[in-house]
Amino acid sequence: MSVLTVNPGSGSLRLHLVEDERVLDSAEIGHPPGSDEGDPEIAAFLDRLPDSLDAVAHRLVHGGATLLTPTVVDRRVRAAISAATSLAPQHVPATVDLLDRLSARLPAVPHVVCPDTAFHAHLPEIARVYPLPEQWRARWDLRRYGFHGLSFTWAVRRAGDLLGRPVDDLNLLVAHLSGGSSVCAVARGRSVDTSMGFTPLEGVMMAKRSGTVDPGLLLWLLREGKLTVAELETGLYERSGLLGLSGSSSDTRDLVHAARDGDVKASFAMAVFAHRVRRELAAVAASLDHVDALVLTGDIGWDQPEVAEEVATGLGVLGLRGGLDRHRDHDAVISPPGAVVPVLTVQSREELELARAAATVVREAAPTR
């Protein structure tokens, strides 16, 4: 099947034409999704699409309480997507905008929305619940959702391939490290704990997002009139993380080079990032009875060997060690031979997982003859 995959980030848009797990064409639009600046590039890509397109797969960061699986978009689904806007305000509005635009351009093709939260839809209740008043939880469905599910799904499948073992026989720690970062404990192919929760703000420190901070600190800032709600939201989502600590960049590639040149703040930001990743990995590891491997994915997990080394070296308590292979250009086991807990690096291929999910949904929805 030929599937157009639509993957909006907070500041860019990735489009891929995928056929049978092969990327035939792609474009990265370096403008915020939903903005008019990228329209000519989007139109040029759409003009190259074949007439035989079978589906359009849209990545949806937050599916809310109702969108728990990849689903063909209809009016009900479109309304459910819009209802989740406040849960991920940096991401969902772009999906809504792109869905409307592309549905108008490609009205005869089924559009499938693929929630990043779907992978965590069956988290154990003890991992999903927030210890908040019952009335709050019931009224507003306050719970932990988890994110980066498309990336985790692909990484778990590839880990099984690399280790030569069935996925349902593996207990894995998986870290998706990129502009947005989270970690996950996977037991026999299922998510059993993860670092992100109700929104994509909890857990690991990220490029511009703070990750977990003391909620009492946030209450103090608001109660004492130090910041408005809008200022607090902007600060937590756009001015924190690596950017907030370094004061210079949110990109680990820039910070690694700056640290080598003696930039103390850059070095400190990278050290805190590695510490926060280790801390979250150790936390979710408590949901496993053993660890078969650590899988690193996402742009940083795949292509930043300094981070991989720092993370593995600092997790000796879990049986991990450093000395990782820094020179590879393919998915691989990068720990030394005989490592008690192997370390793997897997390139994030959300476009392939999007295409796989959409193709499955469209085939299941097709009338039987």
Question: Looking at this protein, which amino acid is placed at residue 286?
Answer: A
Q: What is the 3-state secondary structure (H, E, C) of the chain?
A: CEEEEEEECCCCEEEEEEECCEEEEEEEECCCCCCHHHHHHHHHHHHCCCCCCCEEEEEECCCCCCCCCCEECCHHHHHHHHHCHHHCCCCHHHHHHHHHHHHHHCCCCCEEEEECCHHHCCCCHHHHECCCCHHHHHHHCCECCCCCHHHHHHHHHHHHHHHCCCHHHCEEEEEECCCCCEEEEEECCEEEEECCCCCCCCCCCCCCCCCCCCHHHHHHHHHCCCCCHHHHHHHHHHCCHHHHHHCCCCCHHHHHHHHHCCCHHHHHHHHHHHHHHHHHHHHHHCCCCCCCEEEEEHHHHHHCHHHHHHHHHCCHHHCCCCCCCCCCCCCEECCCCCCCCCEEECCCCHHHHHHHHHHHHHHHHCCCC
Instruction: Report the alpha-carbon distance of residue 187 to residue 193 in Å, rounded.
Output: 9
Q: What are phi and psi of 180, to 5 degrees?
A: -110, 140
Residue where the block lists tokens 């793997």: 344
Catalytic (active site) residue 292: no
- Alpha-carbon distance of 110 to 106, in angstroms, equals 9
Catalytic residue among 25, 36, 74, 116: 116
Sheet architecture: strand order including 111-115: 22-29, 13-19, 2-8, 55-60, 111-115, 71-72
Could you identify the residue written with the tokens 């450093």?
A: 322
| Residues with catalytic function | 116
